[in-house]
Amino acid sequence: MRCDVGQSVHSNGDWGVQSMSVGVCSPWLRRLLSDLAATMPMSQVWGIAGRMTGGPMAEHNPPKLIDQLTDELRTRHYSKRTEQAYVLWVKRYIRFHKMRHPKDMAEAEINAFLTNLAMDEKVSASTQNQALSALLFLYRYVFGLEGG
């Protein structure tokens, strides 16, 4: 069964409707999914629809690292601004190490990143502390590791 949800703009500027296959598509579900499509990416809407209906999108993909980080921050009631700053620092850390996953890195890589901030980018001590706090949060609460 097809369930039309969300809207997209085609290259010619016309509005179109995105469709997806789900197990069951009642009017209330179609309305709910359309409302969700207005506030989140369609890939997330498809996953929700699949889980609700047992359709093909029901397979659970593991959440992305940044999604895990923001979930942990929100669970602990950190402010929106702190969330934005921590996400920025984690992304900078990953880019600094040429897109390596943080799980594959340890204390030496954190030290190298912080040293680069201090020596090459000449950031203040409080900025270095914020970067360190973001990385400690990532390792402690997202990965469940205690650092030394």
Ordered by where they begin, the domains of the chain are 2-58 (no CATH), 65-142 (1.10.150.130)
Please tell me the distance from the alpha carbon of residue 66 to that of residue 83, in angstroms, as a whole number: 10
Q: What is the pLDDT of residues 68-123, one digit of tens each?
A: 999 999 999 999 999 999 999 999 999 999 999 999 999 999 999 999 999 999 99
Q: State the average pLDDT over residues 57-62.
A: 59
CB 53 within 8 A of CB 23: yes
- Write down the pLDDT at residue 8: 45
Q: Which residue has the higher pLDDT, 43 or 10?
A: 43
Give pTM, 2 decimals.
0.61
Q: Which residue has the higher pLDDT, 56 or 9?
A: 56
Which residues, 6 or more positions from 99, have their beta carbon under 8 angstroms from its beta carbon? none
- Write down the pLDDT at residue 131: 97
